Amino acid sequence: MLGIVIKDYYETFCLKKNIIGMIFSLSVILLVVSLIDNLYAFVLIVGITLPMMGASTLQSSMEQDEISKFDQILLTFPITRQEIVKAKLLSSLLLTLITNLLLSLLITIVYVFIYQTVDLKTGLLVLFIGFIIALIMNAINGVGFFLLDNKKGAVVYAVLVAIFAFGYVMFNLNFDLSKLLSLDIGVILILSLIVAIVLNIISYFICVKIYNRKHS
């Protein structure tokens, strides 16, 4: 399993095409952070944009697997199909956790202590909401990529990102975001976190069924 995770991360971070795409994406995020210091930009980056990045590992690895036919080779290795799926989803989940625990946290520190756009409570709240969204998207993207493969899965992923972005814009036009974040929604967040974890467990079993069906 560890070998699969390492391979997936190599294909995500070490291939020239993916490196260029990653540098471009991070540059855009850093540009937004450096130029816009309001609450809405903070929520857009930490609460929506970064939580969606976990799928990049799954997309990159599946793309290379399709090109090299590595899936067929992998089936000959002394590893179960359940372990193959687990390794794929684990690589995506780990990237999701690292992105939210490091990059999102650093940006939160900038908006809380340097820009002083939001207070610490609000910053941590948005960070936690982003973490929950990341887990939910991880579960959805896992099923999407295993079911539809790389190309169609990437299209569905792009559509989901567009829907989230459009929903965020429409939400801002109709609600005062600062007032919503000031509400006591602790219980809702805890329940949402539990739901997100359960969705990832369900996603794993669905992906195993899909993988077994495709390689039966």
**27 residue type, one letter:** S
pLDDT digits 0-9 by tens, 130-163 = 889 889 888 888 888 888 776 666 777 777 777 7
Compute the chain's Rg from CA coordinates. 18
Residues 154 and 208: their CA atoms lie apart, in Å, by 20
- The model's pTM is 0.84
Query: Domains of the chain: which residue ranges?
Result: 2-214
pLDDT digits 0-9 by tens, 17-75 = 778 877 888 888 888 888 888 888 898 889 888 887 766 777 777 777 777 777 778 77
Listed residue (112, 114, 142) closest to 127, CA to CA: 112
